[in-house]
Structure 1
Amino acid sequence: MRVRHGPKIVLAAVGLLVVGCTSPDGGGGSARTGESIVIGAGSEPENLNPILGYAPDGAAKVFDGLVARDAKLQLVPALAEQVPTASADGLVWTAKLREGTRFSDGTTLSAQDVVFTFKSVLDPGTNSTIASRLDALADVTAPDDRTVEFRLRHPYAPFAQQLALGVVPRKAFDGVDVNSAPFNSAPIGTGPYTVAEWRKGDRMVLKANESYWGGAPAVKTVTVVFVADDNARATRMAAGEFDGTVLPPKLANAYRDRDGYRLVRNPSADYRGLGLPSELPLTSDPRVRLAINLGVDRQAMIDTVLAGAGKPAATPISPHLADWYEQGAVFRHDPAEAARLLDEAGWRAGADGKRSRDGQAARLPVLYPAPDVLRKELALATASDIARLGIDAPVEATTFEVMLQRQREAASVWGGGDPYDPDTAAYTLLHSRYAGQSGYVNMSLYRNPTVDAALDTGRRSLDTATRKQAYADFQRAYTADPGWVFLVFLDHTYVLRDRWTGQEQQVEPHDHGLVHAVWWNLERWTPKP
């Protein structure tokens, strides 16, 4: 599953802030000509190594995968000459590399670099956050310098989606621990940009790769400044420091119809949801989890918190996954039925309206990451709806690390989701095999054998009709026994100076920093005359 339920991983580019913030019009000559851009980023990546989990769905700017995605999310060749295909039994996928491709240091791309990249992700000694995405992969080999063969343990229909992972040069890791390699902050790739500087905690600068196999970018310098706080980012955008940034809808709306700016609203499969701790006495009962889902008014959140920029969520399968989305797998807003289910589960209201069972008060702490204004507002709205059911729901600002530490005792507002395939959207999030594992997989410790069976069938079948039935079964089984309160699918909102052409709209995943945001194809932008 392509999930970063924690921080949004953002590739940032740094340089001289004077390029973009000496004046509201962008400062120096290169900024005025549109050859540079300054982006305000909501968070900073821990590293820039694809092996460790950086930008696994492509658009990584410094790296290329074997495949990339076009504006409609269709896979297209990148480092591979053609989109790789599978053998008749689905167990072997073969890729032929584009001839003559070079890394930014001038060395030639080899099939052995691809083998090293994928084997390193699977190495138990590697601290990769994406190893679970490659569970089906048994081995990777290179019959020759331009051919790569991937051998699977079982058929896995969406395997080609995983081949957007950036490829790294094997020689950069000779005698070096992948987990602590200098490469992780000063990488070498085949992509349209190179990392010129990274001042951690502040900013990073990317410079155009003039020898890029896809053609040198017209935007020569990309400076991304890391500003976690939404309000601070909005203030600095208003002060003229940035050429573009992502903002919550209500803050972004200040730029509606403002001369010289574009307000961009991109659809996404990026959800926000409340992971319910399945081992807490209160929420261990499926009736209570269903009651909370019925008691939450999702449309009210969209209208108020999101200023209309979103869609209701019931499962991690987005409406943008149109071929797989089950229209009937939804939760209506029904507080009366929620109250009945809570009564049935033995959590009854006292004279003060507060519920308890056998002397134990109904209590569900709601956690959210402190710098995130949008998650704060969603946490407050959700907790308010839960409190109306008679459940004490105190809201606490904290960190992602603490949210993981308290996953057995508190609910947390997480994010994730992608528009590529239902397997990558749901499998590691809800399959019981990941319950109790570390990191951003099955954080609610959810277990349901019917859900497991449907997800396994959808993952292993090569027949489209069988897969569609499996994911319909999954969504129906999940909504009968929910493990989360999926709240909304966001529309991502951006403010952008109107200085470039070439932007194309693309449905976005959760990971939408520099890699999948409005500037996902920045290397193809051209400055306006």
Structure 2
Amino acid sequence: MIKNASTLRRLAGIAVAATVAAGAAGCGGGPATGTSDTSRIRALLNAQPATLDPIAGARSAQVVWATMVEPLVTTGSDLEPARTGLITDWKRASPTKWTFTLRPNVKFSNGETADAAAVVNTLTLTRDQNTSILKTYFGNVASIEAPDATTVEVTTKRPQYDIPNLLTTVYLVPPKYYKEKGPAGFSAAPVGTGPYVFEGAKPGREISVKANPSYWGAKPANTGVTFTWATEASQRLALLQGKSVDVAFDLPPAQADQAKKAGLKVVSTESALKITAFLEATKAPFKDATLREAAALAINRDDIVKGIFDGKAVADGGLLNVKPGTQPARRVDADPARAKQLVGSSGPSVNLTYPAGQYTNMKEVAESVGASLQQAGFTVKYLPVDYGTLVKQVAGRQIDGLFLLGAVPNVAVPDFFASGFMKSASITSSCPDPAIDRLVAKALEQKNADAAQSIYDELNTLGVVQKHCYVPLYKQIYTYGLGSGADGIVYGPLNSVDFTKATR
């Protein structure tokens, strides 16, 4: 637990240093200017990426870095690991040993060899580096070895079924370059094996990548992508309508409807991104189990989906059902009258912390949650913060009350949430419980996620239904607009974007 907290406490500092070094630290920015390249894609994000270092960075920034740096294992359309990427095959030699086969003759864009030794280095950084955001998921890995240039052997202390799944969110970095530059230097100019290479950044305005002429796979259909950002949805829509950008990501329902009326193409995908309210069970007021139950009963996720998103989100009362289209075996439904009865006349004060501007309509969602709590008898104080500050506060255990977080299962197995948010040694660690720790470990020792499903059902019931430590709200329907002539940009439900087939 101490190591994991230390890991994430350092993220904000690393993110700031990396962003400044990259010269991309502006709060918003205009569209790309001064370019006559008609095959370059101009992409508008809802927020600037905090860091382009995949070892330390939250996966919300992979929309940018994943153009340059590739995951070890690709993900298929079924959201399961596929044998089509840098790693082309794997087998489970024993309950605790996995053998992976690497694609031969691949090089990083700086000329370093992308061999098994590079994979061992990246996995070791992911497991051991204090700034690794995935550290908690690799604590069971005992050894990582490369018997030859195309073979990697991963041995775990106890059986762990999801190692191939985890490698879909581990991005391969060049050993010499990463060691020389460090996290901040790497973020300033990432180097990978991907279809694009880093081109440059303008302070406060944009980050650009260009097509990699030496890419091992199919070459991009465009010459590159320029990323800009605008935190206001109305501004993103205006830039799209004004033909300043080719794609505007994260359009709320109102802006999406306006884009459609303007004749623009709008694409919607049910994302695995799940907005969840985390109740800090180690501190007042939610150290009191009765008040946690009251809060869980007060919050009406169906009203949020209907009132704020006009039904264009998916109400979801489960924490560990990670794939789109799935629902939990058991959930907690709103009961405002019972919530008010549980609170009584005590009027407990609650801090409600949320990442302003990070997720679609987050301010409105926070206000809806707060209003529900106030109706139940809580006194609510709203604490809007930027996303980097929220990560720092969560990691440093500086939060009390309730915080809202968008949880993206970049690995589509329940353990991504179980190990990431439920274990005592986890990213949030808001509800430490030895029983939860035992169940998480037991689930991983099963043959696969299907075999572990009954345990995950038990975990969800324990954390969400019985202890009321987590109040899952909804899965986001992720919507983006395409400018006239733009096509081929594909958003995946695990918060990934493929630009390689994009044209304009």
The equivalent of 2:233 in structure 1 is 230
- In 2: Cα distance, 1:118 partner to 1:156 partner: 16
Q: By percentage of residues, which structure has more helix?
A: 2
The equivalent of 1:495 in structure 2 is 481
- In 2: Cα distance, 1:377 partner to 1:122 partner: 38
Which residue identity lines up with residue 97 of structure 1 in the other structure? L
- In 2: Cα distance, 1:284 partner to 1:375 partner: 26
1:266 positional shift: 1.0
SS of equivalent to 1:84:
strand
1:501 positional shift: 4.2
Q: Does 1:326 align with 2:328?
A: yes
Which one of the candidate residues 193, 197, 202 is aligned to 1:194?
197
Q: Does 1:167 align with 2:172?
A: yes
Which residue identity lines up with residue 97 of structure 2 in the other structure? V
1:322 positional shift: 6.2
**Measured at CA, do residues 503 and 229 of structure 1 come closer, stay the same or move farther in structure 2, by a change above 3 Å?**
closer
The equivalent of 1:70 in structure 2 is 76
Contact 2:320 2:456 in 1 (8 A): no
Q: Does 1:379 align with 2:388?
A: no
The equivalent of 2:206 in structure 1 is 203
Q: Which runs of 5+ in 1 are unaligned?
A: 350-355, 435-440
Matches within 5 A, 1:424-435: 424-434=416-426
1:206 positional shift: 0.6
The equivalent of 1:315 in structure 2 is 318
1:505 positional shift: 5.9
**Measured at CA, do residues 162 and 200 of structure 1 come closer, stay the same or move farther in structure 2, by a change above 3 Å?**
farther
The equivalent of 1:30 in structure 2 is 37
Which one of the candidate residues 85, 92, 96 is aligned to 1:86?
92
- In 1: Cα distance, 2:87 partner to 2:398 partner: 44
1:526 positional shift: 4.4
The equivalent of 1:128 in structure 2 is 132
1:82 positional shift: 2.3
1:242 positional shift: 1.7
The equivalent of 1:395 in structure 2 is 382
SS of equivalent to 1:433:
coil
SS of equivalent to 1:365:
strand
- In 2: Cα distance, 1:54 partner to 1:366 partner: 22
Which range is displaced more, 414-423 or 374-383? 414-423
1:212 positional shift: 1.0
TM-score computed with the length of structure 1 as normaliser: 0.82
Which residue identity lines up with residue 443 of structure 2 in the other structure? G
- In 2: Cα distance, 1:334 partner to 1:230 partner: 33
* 1:398-443 deviation per Cα after TM superposition (whole angstroms, max 9, x unaligned): 3342653674433222111326000012222011233xxxxxx125
The equivalent of 1:149 in structure 2 is 153
**Measured at CA, do residues 36 and 173 of structure 1 come closer, stay the same or move farther in structure 2, by a change above 3 Å?**
closer
Aligned length: 477
Which residue identity lines up with residue 336 of structure 2 in the other structure? P
**Measured at CA, do residues 477 and 173 of structure 1 come closer, stay the same or move farther in structure 2, by a change above 3 Å?**
closer
The equivalent of 2:344 in structure 1 is 348
Matches within 5 A, 1:333-482: 333-340=334-341, 342=342, 347-349=343-345, 356=346, 361-372=347-358, 374-400=361-387, 401=389, 403-404=393-394, 407-418=398-409, 420-434=412-426, 441-442=427-428, 445-462=430-447, 466-478=451-463, 479-482=465-468
Contact 2:208 2:225 in 1 (8 A): yes
1:106 positional shift: 3.4
1:228 positional shift: 3.0
**Which has the larger Rg?**
1
Contact 2:316 2:472 in 1 (8 A): yes
- In 1: Cα distance, 2:257 partner to 2:89 partner: 40
Q: Does 1:140 align with 2:140?
A: no
1:371 positional shift: 3.2
The equivalent of 1:43 in structure 2 is 47
**Measured at CA, do residues 184 and 464 of structure 1 come closer, stay the same or move farther in structure 2, by a change above 3 Å?**
closer
Q: Does 1:255 align with 2:259?
A: yes
* 1:34-77 deviation per Cα after TM superposition (whole angstroms, max 9, x unaligned): x1111111222333222334659977111222311133323222
Which range is displaced more, 397-406 or 210-219? 397-406
Matches within 5 A, 1:288-299: 288-299=291-302
1:191 positional shift: 0.2
Which one of the candidate residues 61, 83, 102 is aligned to 1:97?
102
Which residue identity lines up with residue 61 of structure 1 in the other structure? T
**Measured at CA, do residues 466 and 95 of structure 1 come closer, stay the same or move farther in structure 2, by a change above 3 Å?**
closer
SS of equivalent to 1:279:
coil
Contact 2:23 2:188 in 1 (8 A): no
- In 1: Cα distance, 2:87 partner to 2:354 partner: 44
Contact 1:21 1:240 in 2 (8 A): no
* 1:197-253 deviation per Cα after TM superposition (whole angstroms, max 9, x unaligned): 023432100100122111210111200013234343334334332211222222222
The equivalent of 2:245 in structure 1 is 242
1:500 positional shift: 4.1
**Measured at CA, do residues 83 and 502 of structure 1 come closer, stay the same or move farther in structure 2, by a change above 3 Å?**
farther
- In 1: Cα distance, 2:61 partner to 2:44 partner: 22
Which residue identity lines up with residue 276 of structure 2 in the other structure? G
TM-score computed with the length of structure 2 as normaliser: 0.85
- In 2: Cα distance, 1:278 partner to 1:169 partner: 41
Q: C-alpha root-mean-square deviation of aligned residues, in Å?
A: 3.2
1:457 positional shift: 1.4
- In 1: Cα distance, 2:242 partner to 2:121 partner: 46
SS of equivalent to 2:425:
helix
Contact 1:71 1:505 in 2 (8 A): no
Q: Which runs of 5+ in 2 are unaligned?
A: none
**Measured at CA, do residues 467 and 308 of structure 1 come closer, stay the same or move farther in structure 2, by a change above 3 Å?**
same
- In 1: Cα distance, 2:149 partner to 2:323 partner: 39
Which one of the candidate residues 119, 140, 144 is aligned to 1:114?
119
- In 2: Cα distance, 1:137 partner to 1:209 partner: 34
- In 1: Cα distance, 2:471 partner to 2:480 partner: 26
- In 1: Cα distance, 2:301 partner to 2:404 partner: 14
Contact 1:19 1:30 in 2 (8 A): no
Contact 1:81 1:98 in 2 (8 A): yes
1:451 positional shift: 2.8
- In 1: Cα distance, 2:61 partner to 2:447 partner: 22
Contact 2:23 2:203 in 1 (8 A): no
Which residue identity lines up with residue 147 of structure 1 in the other structure? T
SS of equivalent to 1:524:
coil
**Measured at CA, do residues 476 and 232 of structure 1 come closer, stay the same or move farther in structure 2, by a change above 3 Å?**
same
**Measured at CA, do residues 433 and 321 of structure 1 come closer, stay the same or move farther in structure 2, by a change above 3 Å?**
same
- In 1: Cα distance, 2:283 partner to 2:190 partner: 43
